[in-house]
Structure 1
Amino acid sequence: MKTPISSSEPREPRGWRSRPRVTDLLVAAAYTAPALAAATAFSGGGTEAPGLVLQCLAVVVSGIGLVFRRLAPMSSLAATAVIMLITFSVPASFATVATAMALYAVGVYRSARHAVVSLLGTSAILLVAAVLQPLSMVDLGQAVQAIAVLVIATLSGLNVRTRRRYVSALVDRADRLTREREHLDSIAAAAERNAIAREMHDIVSHGLAVMISLAHGSAEIASTDPARAVHAMRQVAETGRVAVTDMRRMLGVLNEGDTEGNTAELAGAAQPSPGVGDIPDLLGLFRSAGLPVALQSAGVPPADPGIQLAIYRVVQEGLTNALKYARAATAVTVRTEFSPKTILVSVTDDGHPEVAPADHAGRGVAGMRERVALCGGTLRAGPLTSGGWSVTARFPPQEESPWQR
């Protein structure tokens, strides 16, 4: 599998763009070599004539100017334009080509304003030299043809510059979208991790708290009441089985896209999630662990399985905390109220709250608050003025509740 390239890594230019200096040298050589050959061929064989030397020198100067067309396009244009005016009437002069190449570079590497001003200035100099100085070495007809070539070169440069800016904008937009997608993926991954951690806490913390309480109780009464101790240990086993079933359900949901996954986990995922109807059994389990819990319920619960699971987890976490931290509790009340205005769930005890360990404090309450917030509700947890502890969750009424039909 190939490792994907991060969007934060800069894209390196490829091909000839990766070596601009070499490209500029090749462009200058592509102009200089034919121009020197043409100057030598049309010199009439007089290789020692001063005119040939000056013409070759002019070609070399134009070629040198083209070497710097990328770094200093305006200076390159000035050098080639001067050579063009001097050697315009020379037969087989390539000076107009050099000026056109320099104007193309201005259009690509400088702004559109610089390109237009440069084209107008060069064209104006040619026309002035041809019209106001009829006896000069610039011919009007040739000047018009040269201007046409310069216009084409300038427009080509501007077109290339526009296309590069458009491509660069597309690349920047693609990079920005990639970064945004990676950011959203990281947010989604963090949300999934929080959800998994919340489920793991609810399952493991609840199961272990009940199992520890039952095991401790069975050890205390084993010598005096073996039958009750055996019954308590069987409840420990049943609690562990339920916790394993919940764990398999969660793992099965995580692996639901894996057709080659564990069949036991997939079978656990097919089982329905606990809801309001499972709260009486949950209370019975806590009663067997020694918690004096009572249920007060009113109204018809909503049909949404997500809301029902949230309600069940709030009751489960509230009872688990009461079992672990409420000392000398004589009454624990679970109240559920389902009405057209609100859905209320509370767990209240009259015990003396113990301080949770620093490395575990608040994890259960934070998980409950996150779960309730995902359903659009609010949660309050804290001590009561009369003593004890209370956890209260409120959910908004559901649009398809039975009392709204």
Structure 2
Amino acid sequence: MTESTTVTRRPGLARLRAWPHRHPVAADAVLTAVAALFVLTRGDRFEHLPGERPWWVLLAVLLVVPLVWRRRAPLLVFGWMAAVAAVQWFFARALVADAALLIALYSVAVHCGRKVALWALGVIEFGIAIAILKWAPPAGMLDAFVFLSGLATAAFVLGRNVRTRRAYLASLEDRARRAEHERDQQAQLAAAAERARIAREMHDIVAHNLSVMIALADGAAFAARGNPDEAETAARQVSDTGRQALGEMHRLLGVLRGGQETPRAPQPGIEQLDELVAQVRAAGLPVSLTVAGPAFPLSPTAQLAVYRLVQEALTNVLKHADSPEQAWVRLRYRDPVVEVEVGDDGHGRPMASAVDGHGLSGMAERAAMFDGQIEAGPRPGGGWRVHAELVSRRVAPA
């Protein structure tokens, strides 16, 4: 029979064991009532007090009743009971109710520190010693001391073990809570990073393709009267660009949906730079692509970063450059660095949105993923220049 089956078949026992922890005051009240009932009904068989019965009843009540507060004020309860026992030692004989001191010692051992608990054990041992010297017969002193000291030591050790076990369980619960909290934090950070990644992708796709479509549409409108064939070609390029943007949007939305099967297309990389440059040329901006240095393998993630950097930089040229005559893309391999440069020869400075918008911050984030850096600013001879470096040690070979 497994443990889970045992617990399932004995739910009443589990509830009974948990009841004292859920209702400590009520549990201590029941314990006190049982102890008082035993002392008052059976104690007269063991007590040998001179005088009237009410005196030993009063001492028994003063020893037993404080147990109700043993959890809330264990040290105070123990001190009170020790004081009552001292009065008893001066004026009476041993009582069955003295066993309540063992419960008080156990409570101190559970709820107080080690030094306080040892002090309480020392008080009990001292009380045992003087009680034996006064009340025990000479022939049985040693046996009585060993027996009573054993009871006191057992109460002390049991209390300390319970305290240690509770502290261990509390530490496990605290570690579990902290692990759960850290797991939630990691999940939130991962979700935020994924949202930022998708936002960058959305920005790059939408901004670039819309900029190209606007440039093509303007060119088609200009050429519609004088050159219908050229206008038709520009309109077809607008349509192709829109379909490409729509396809990439569907791919991203498929990732967001998660559970649905969507056609998977490879991510754009360095091999697609020629198509990107051709698309920008079709929008009316002459662009050249130059690759220098011995090429070395780059991971798909690194290639995507390079592609998006070039795409965003060319998009900014289309959107913000002032009458550029040409633009250029230069890709240089300098092991262990991949260098990307995009520039134009436009006049004046770009609009503020090109500098302070999300595009350049997204490029900086992509470069930072590969321990790289990015520089963007006006060229001395006019126009704008974006320069980025990616460190290849963060790039796994293909």
Q: TM-score, normalised by structure 2?
A: 0.85
1:48-94 Cα deviation digits (max 9, x unpaired): x9532112212211122212212322332233335556379868x42
1:19 equivalent in alignment to 2:13: no
1:331-367 Cα deviation digits (max 9, x unpaired): 2111111233432111101113331449x93301111
Q: How many angstroms apart in 1 are the aligned matches of 2:397 and 2:129?
A: 87
- SS of the aligned residue for 1:385 comes to coil
Q: How many angstroms apart in 1 are the aligned matches of 2:336 and 2:143?
A: 91
Structure 2 unpaired stretches of 5+: 1-17
1:342 equivalent in alignment to 2:337: yes
Q: Percent identity?
A: 37
1:64 equivalent in alignment to 2:58: no
Q: 1:301 to 1:351 in 2, by over 3 A?
A: farther
Q: How many angstroms apart in 2 are the aligned matches of 1:377 and 1:35?
A: 82
The question of whether the paired residues in 1 share the 8 Å contact of 2:93 and 2:135 is answered with no
Q: 1:24 to 1:228 in 2, by over 3 A?
A: same
Match of 2:350 in 1: 354
Match of 1:9 in 2: none
* Equivalenced residues, count: 375
1:95 Cα deviation after fit: 2.2
- Aligned AA (2:307): Y
Q: 1:54 to 1:81 in 2, by over 3 A?
A: same
Q: How many angstroms apart in 1 are the aligned matches of 2:272 and 2:83?
A: 94
Q: How many angstroms apart in 2 are the aligned matches of 1:289 and 1:235?
A: 9
The question of whether the paired residues in 2 share the 8 Å contact of 1:341 and 1:396 is answered with yes
Match of 1:174 in 2: 176
Q: How many angstroms apart in 1 are the aligned matches of 2:66 and 2:247?
A: 81
The question of whether the paired residues in 2 share the 8 Å contact of 1:31 and 1:63 is answered with yes
- SS of the aligned residue for 1:327 comes to coil
The question of whether the paired residues in 1 share the 8 Å contact of 2:337 and 2:391 is answered with yes
The question of whether the paired residues in 1 share the 8 Å contact of 2:327 and 2:344 is answered with yes
- Aligned AA (1:289): A
- SS of the aligned residue for 2:356 comes to coil
Match of 2:391 in 1: 396
1:231 Cα deviation after fit: 1.1
Match of 1:213 in 2: 215
Which moves more between the two structures, 326-335 or 222-231? 222-231
Structure 1 unpaired stretches of 5+: 1-13
Match of 1:281 in 2: 275
**Structure with the largest fraction of helix:** 2
- Aligned AA (1:286): V
The question of whether the paired residues in 2 share the 8 Å contact of 1:276 and 1:301 is answered with no
Q: How many angstroms apart in 1 are the aligned matches of 2:47 and 2:373?
A: 95
Q: 1:89 to 1:147 in 2, by over 3 A?
A: farther
Q: How many angstroms apart in 2 are the aligned matches of 1:155 and 1:141?
A: 21
1:330 Cα deviation after fit: 1.0
Q: How many angstroms apart in 2 are the aligned matches of 1:79 and 1:400?
A: 74
Q: How many angstroms apart in 2 are the aligned matches of 1:401 and 1:174?
A: 39
Match of 1:53 in 2: 54
Match of 1:79 in 2: 80
1:197 Cα deviation after fit: 0.5
Match of 2:13 in 1: none
1:131-150 Cα deviation digits (max 9, x unpaired): 378789x9664444222211
1:40 Cα deviation after fit: 4.7
Q: How many angstroms apart in 2 are the aligned matches of 1:21 and 1:129?
A: 32
Q: 1:148 to 1:397 in 2, by over 3 A?
A: closer
1:146-196 Cα deviation digits (max 9, x unpaired): 222111111111111111111111111111222222222221111111101
- Aligned AA (1:355): M
1:42 Cα deviation after fit: 5.9
Match of 1:195 in 2: 197
Match of 2:164 in 1: 162
The question of whether the paired residues in 1 share the 8 Å contact of 2:370 and 2:392 is answered with no
Q: How many angstroms apart in 1 are the aligned matches of 2:296 and 2:137?
A: 104
1:296 Cα deviation after fit: 1.6
- SS of the aligned residue for 1:272 comes to coil
1:95-146 Cα deviation digits (max 9, x unpaired): 232010000011011112111111122212321343378789x966444422
